[in-house]
Structure 1
């Protein structure tokens, strides 16, 4: 053991006489090159050589040709730039080879052919390899462990790893690569924060949450659609826009529902099905639905905001959309949303598997494997269209509040004005806050991924399951359930329902005057003004 000694160079005679030496460790000795023509000339029994953490730049056949009994060769953390094809030709007993953390940019495709019958463990991690050839590992039928950490494999294929029937452990840069080696018992990393080796959704919180969010989103939007269909609308065109918005948001609930269904389907055996799932029609379809829902929702919210902006800031203008204009705008928004979601599906050669980049089929962040066209397209959608829409919504609501505040300065009833300002402020704040809560994390993740910042997978999972559906879940509350008109109409419906349940016997026993003046009524019931006036004068309401 000669570890951490300042041995920058060795001569050919350094190891003369060590005929029985089996183990040699020279870790961190600043060694720049190995002696030529043969390193093991005087150590024929050497079977373990550890040269980790040196500055070796050259490795070739002439250096190793007499190391025929070598079983373990550790060369990690050196400066090796090139490995000739016949480098390991004489190492017919080699079982472990570690070339990690070097500067190797290219490996000839038959580099490991000469050690194919003996090699059990191979580590070429953290090298700037430009390409892994499909036949690099085809001869390594006895290999049990393969480490490829830190290496991008743009053209990764299942056939790269199938010949290695005995492979039990494999180590990749990203979890998505694991799906290309489904026969390997242990693959690391075993999760991307969203999916794991066993399950589509990595942990119990995600599994429960996807069902809860799906239920809240679907039920809330369907409830609003039903209630707005039953009650009289103050503005029919606005009500139609809200119902269309609920339809778009409901698609997000459908997307979450199917993610939950397929999570149950693949439970315990996800990695065996991961590649087929991400390339399946089902994955692309639900990814399409999620994109369609989010984009139509964003565009509709922007349109509703601008419509409200014109009414409040320019109350005396004639810029009010009619029925035909509203129908045209709504149809155009759905058409545009459909085109945005469908374009990546039209040409796989240009966009690749746009929706199948992860188990939840949503193209949230970019990676180096993504095609440039797909990366540019998703950037244009998330950091272009959606960011502009969010800024328009935020600025419009700020202008609306300022306009209302300015108008209220001249109000004579200060208490009424203060109450109105607080109500308007709260409502506008929560509308903008919900949009910010949804889209700002998505903007940040997209921006960081473009800057090639490593993003933990758990962040992606929380954004897809919790953050992305926030608007879809909250829109029914913000745009319908919290409005004063909607609450009043619901109260009227409840009153009518309660009045219908007053027994006929009780009604017959009461006179027409006591019906209006003495009979206990639901708390929400208020007689029309003209009936109240008649009762004060003693007139008979029926005759009136």
Structure 2
């Protein structure tokens, strides 16, 4: 008999048992453990376990049980403490199924096909400490299902297609310490649901954003979405430093460009107006990052207490719309600049170049359209819900989370409609420009100098388009994956960025290839002499928002102005005039002339090679109706 006890405890698993006749265990009165896992048992009744008066643990894991009889399953097992029915095919559980399981403390019904639960199914289980209902087909949970489970410590209802949770569902679970509701979209989530759970120490959600509704819980998973963490709005030290670096470079760089553009005398005024408008849009991205950095400091160490109120706040909505305004105006302006360059190079003899009034009208329309795109979601809350408050940085990429139909259609129209069309136009225009330049250079050598000037400008704009492409292609991919309902897990990686745009271009190419073709869970990439990138396969979209979009606004001043020849020669002219003034001051200390910008560029002293704009002439500086002779290279006095 002693040997039979050990046999039944240890060796009835992984057999092909399909049927247990009633009374098969009736002589095993002292048996405490009965493990029947990984068999083919398809039915049980209360009489199946007759005689097991001392049974404490019953494991029926991974069998084929499809139905539990209405009679009490524990009637012949009054001391049963642990019942494991995981991995069966049970479809429903009645009110009397566990009516005699008064001593039960652990009940596992995980991975079944349960779709219906009676309201008082678990009422007899007064001592139940752990209940696992995860991975079933439960859509509705009766409001009184957990009402009598006063001793419950752990509850798991994860991965069920639950449509809605009752607000008072957990009100009587005063001793609950662990609650798992992973894999469930809680459309009606609110703080009221979790406030009665005073002893709750661990909670598990599908989304990090839900943690804000249970601020009193010590541990919440997931504890980050790639940007924010349980403690901080910006989870990573790299993020916290990078947001200030990029915001400073973006703001001050673009402001510097705006100021210097007005003093570059050889610059075409209409072109300068467009570039300064683009710098204003990019500067808004810097302001956006400054605000995010400021609130990160404000919430440092206790972000989860303020997370939900922050994402629902007016400040978050406004700063999100500011980022959207900056992004869309930048895209539209870049498209316009590309089209203008395309027209001037491909059709140089036609009356197509816009004048001053037309250019100003186009810029006004672009800004109005940007404001409309950015602020429409703030007007209709019922239609868009919390469009900007889906993450801590308030940027509405919506790459992972289910949206309302309005928000989904709107984000698709913006990211896969407007922005994708703009990107295609830019790629087409530059392809046509380079083809036309190459063809023209072989047929009309007499104005090849003019074409070379246009190539210089085209190359500069190409680098701008190139960086924009690296920004937007990953976003297009993420949005398509979200529409195809491909789950995009969270991301944790750190980046140390160079300040020169060649290295940055190499970095973005590498990041793009990694994001498109990543296959492993984690990997590290080291770019020699430039940076180190550590990637883990998780919320890539969040890191796209914080790293890729702003860096383009930070690089634009470098590409637009700081690397151009007029800017370099203007700085050289300023430096030369400064040295001349110092020498004059030292030699004639009694006389100090006034310092004006006019004196900085004295026309009689200026070298024609530096004052004449022909080396970087924009086609709009030359009216499109001029004769061919006017497109010839401008000769200097010496005839060179």
Partner in structure 1 of residue 304 of structure 2: 271
Q: Does 1:474 align with 2:566?
A: no
Partner in structure 1 of residue 261 of structure 2: 228
In the alignment, is the contact (CA less than 8 A) between 1:143 and 1:167 conserved in 2? yes
Q: CA offset at residue 226 of structure 1?
A: 1.1
Select 1:348's aligned residue among 373, 381, 399: 381
Partner in structure 2 of residue 537 of structure 1: none
Q: Structure 1 residues 497, 34: closer, same or farther in 2, change over 3 A?
A: same
**Aligned partner of residue 187 in structure 1, secondary structure:** strand
In the alignment, is the contact (CA less than 8 A) between 1:401 and 1:428 conserved in 2? no
Q: Residues 58-113 of structure 1, C-alpha deviation per residue, up to 9 Å, x if partnerless?
A: 21122111111111111111111111101112111111111111111211111111
Distance in 2 (CA, whole Å) between partners of 1:415 and 1:387 is 34
In the alignment, is the contact (CA less than 8 A) between 1:141 and 1:165 conserved in 2? yes
179-188 vs 431-440, which deviates more?
Answer: 431-440
In the alignment, is the contact (CA less than 8 A) between 1:397 and 1:428 conserved in 2? no
Partner in structure 2 of residue 240 of structure 1: 273
Partner in structure 1 of residue 116 of structure 2: 82
Distance in 1 (CA, whole Å) between partners of 2:255 and 2:458 is 28
Partner in structure 2 of residue 173 of structure 1: 206
Q: Does 1:17 align with 2:98?
A: no
Partner in structure 2 of residue 311 of structure 1: 344
Question: What TM-score, normalized to structure 1?
Answer: 0.89
**Aligned partner of residue 485 in structure 1, secondary structure:** helix
In the alignment, is the contact (CA less than 8 A) between 1:172 and 1:189 conserved in 2? yes
Distance in 2 (CA, whole Å) between partners of 1:318 and 1:255 is 40
Select 2:135's aligned residue among 101, 117, 129: 101
Partner in structure 1 of residue 230 of structure 2: 197
* TM alignment of 1:123-138, pairs within 5 A: 123-138=156-171
Distance in 1 (CA, whole Å) between partners of 2:547 and 2:372 is 26
In the alignment, is the contact (CA less than 8 A) between 1:171 and 1:188 conserved in 2? yes
Partner in structure 1 of residue 469 of structure 2: 436
Distance in 1 (CA, whole Å) between partners of 2:214 and 2:586 is 78
Distance in 2 (CA, whole Å) between partners of 1:455 and 1:491 is 51
Select 1:144's aligned residue among 147, 172, 177: 177
Partner in structure 1 of residue 628 of structure 2: none
Q: CA offset at residue 292 of structure 1?
A: 0.7
Q: Residues 200-245 of structure 1, C-alpha deviation per residue, up to 9 Å, x if partnerless?
A: 0111111111111111111211111111122324311111111111
Q: CA offset at residue 412 of structure 1?
A: 5.4
Partner in structure 1 of residue 294 of structure 2: 261
In the alignment, is the contact (CA less than 8 A) between 2:390 and 2:398 conserved in 1? no
In the alignment, is the contact (CA less than 8 A) between 1:22 and 1:45 conserved in 2? yes
Select 1:51's aligned residue among 51, 61, 85: 85
Q: Structure 1 residues 417, 313: closer, same or farther in 2, change over 3 A?
A: closer
Q: Does 1:389 align with 2:389?
A: no
In the alignment, is the contact (CA less than 8 A) between 2:437 and 2:451 conserved in 1? no
Q: CA offset at residue 355 of structure 1?
A: 0.6
Distance in 1 (CA, whole Å) between partners of 2:396 and 2:146 is 37
Q: Residues 131-170 of structure 1, C-alpha deviation per residue, up to 9 Å, x if partnerless?
A: 1121211222221111101111111111111111111111
Distance in 1 (CA, whole Å) between partners of 2:448 and 2:339 is 30
In the alignment, is the contact (CA less than 8 A) between 1:200 and 1:270 conserved in 2? yes
Q: Residues 410-441 of structure 1, C-alpha deviation per residue, up to 9 Å, x if partnerless?
A: 46599989987985674354232112111111
* TM alignment of 1:455-466, pairs within 5 A: 455-458=488-491, 459-466=540-547
Partner in structure 2 of residue 37 of structure 1: 71
Gaps of 5+ in 2: 1-34, 492-539, 590-604, 611-640
Partner in structure 1 of residue 484 of structure 2: 451
Q: Does 1:492 align with 2:573?
A: yes
Distance in 2 (CA, whole Å) between partners of 1:199 and 1:97 is 33
Q: Residues 230-271 of structure 1, C-alpha deviation per residue, up to 9 Å, x if partnerless?
A: 232431111111111111110001101111111111111000
8-17 vs 137-146, which deviates more?
Answer: 8-17
87-96 vs 250-259, which deviates more?
Answer: 87-96
The count of corresponding residues between Structure 1 and Structure 2 is: 513
Partner in structure 2 of residue 536 of structure 1: none
47-56 vs 278-287, which deviates more?
Answer: 47-56
Q: CA offset at residue 289 of structure 1?
A: 0.8
**Aligned partner of residue 179 in structure 2, secondary structure:** strand
Q: Does 1:122 align with 2:155?
A: yes
Q: CA offset at residue 43 of structure 1?
A: 0.6
Distance in 2 (CA, whole Å) between partners of 1:422 and 1:351 is 45
Distance in 1 (CA, whole Å) between partners of 2:584 and 2:567 is 29
In the alignment, is the contact (CA less than 8 A) between 1:252 and 1:293 conserved in 2? yes
Q: Residues 351-401 of structure 1, C-alpha deviation per residue, up to 9 Å, x if partnerless?
A: 111110000000012455421101111111111111111111111122122
Q: Residues 486-522 of structure 1, C-alpha deviation per residue, up to 9 Å, x if partnerless?
A: 33333333322232222356699xxxxxxxxxxxxxx
Distance in 1 (CA, whole Å) between partners of 2:407 and 2:93 is 40
Question: What TM-score, normalized to structure 2?
Answer: 0.76
Distance in 2 (CA, whole Å) between partners of 1:213 and 1:56 is 56
Partner in structure 1 of residue 366 of structure 2: 333
In the alignment, is the contact (CA less than 8 A) between 2:46 and 2:74 conserved in 1? no
**Aligned partner of residue 335 in structure 1, secondary structure:** helix
218-227 vs 476-485, which deviates more?
Answer: 476-485
Partner in structure 2 of residue 516 of structure 1: none
Select 1:207's aligned residue among 240, 248, 253: 240
Distance in 2 (CA, whole Å) between partners of 1:379 and 1:347 is 18
Distance in 1 (CA, whole Å) between partners of 2:255 and 2:465 is 23
Select 1:402's aligned residue among 422, 428, 435: 435
275-284 vs 360-369, which deviates more?
Answer: 360-369
Partner in structure 2 of residue 155 of structure 1: 188
* TM alignment of 1:289-304, pairs within 5 A: 289-304=322-337
Distance in 1 (CA, whole Å) between partners of 2:451 and 2:258 is 33
In the alignment, is the contact (CA less than 8 A) between 1:383 and 1:443 conserved in 2? yes
Q: Residues 180-203 of structure 1, C-alpha deviation per residue, up to 9 Å, x if partnerless?
A: 111111111111111110110111
Q: Calculate the aligned-residue CA RMSD, in Å.
A: 2.4
Distance in 2 (CA, whole Å) between partners of 1:434 and 1:6 is 60
Distance in 2 (CA, whole Å) between partners of 1:154 and 1:51 is 30
